Structure 1
């Protein structure tokens, strides 16, 4: 089986899983007491207080992050497009990848001049660049 076929299968599997979990059933992990205090954002923080009801997993409190909510191995870590993300820093890294299976990120340590060269090379080979930015040509 080719890498393109495997990628297509993974994308179909991911889409099926996403559709099977409706928006109502998908778990949204909340920060403890963020519903009570405006100054606390919604972003997840693990409850650590000795009396925190959420840490004790009491009824009526939001769920906490646990290993059971993890995605399947086949789709974990993929870009939302279903492609495998790879960080590159030179043209040599680009030669090892397939445009049908990978989406590329250009490393933050790469300067502007080299970044523009990499973007041109990626575009010629048909790659999608996730962080092309204003230099996305």
Structure 2
């Protein structure tokens, strides 16, 4: 009885290290979120041996399975009934999700 997607692709999650910001382990003021190193003499910017890897496009996942849910559908966020009527033609590839800022009374009308 559960809906099935039109094409079920296997989602491959690549194994990779978490890209950390340069010297984020040395200073508390430097957060771990990735920033590209821009120092003129920086070892990581010059990609020396023993330094952490840079974030590159090759680490990305497959374009066809990117943002895909484990069920095989893509998520579509809707705020009202008109938004969800768009999915009538694409109900085999997109799954509806009611937005978080929708009130409970409107949510009951949508469902």
TM-score (norm 2): 0.74
Q: Are 1:85 and 1:105, in contact at CA under 8 Å, matched by a contact in 2?
A: no
Gaps in structure 2 of 5+ consecutive residues: none
Q: CA RMSD in A?
A: 2.8
| CA displacement 1:6-45 (0-9 Å, x = unmatched) | 1xx23xx11xx23xx4xxx422101011121133221111
Return the offset for 1:103: 4.0
Distance in 1, matches of 2:28 and 2:41, equals: 21
Distance in 2, matches of 1:59 and 1:91, equals: 56
Return the offset for 1:93: 1.1
Gaps in structure 1 of 5+ consecutive residues: 125-137
Alignment of 1:5-84 (within 5 A): 5-6=6-7, 9-10=8-9, 13-14=10-11, 17-18=12-13, 21=14, 25-79=15-69, 82-84=72-74
Distance in 1, matches of 2:19 and 2:45, equals: 13
Matched, 1:85 2:75: yes
Distance 1:49 1:80, change over 3 A: farther
TM-score (norm 1): 0.62
Q: Which has the higher helix share?
A: 1
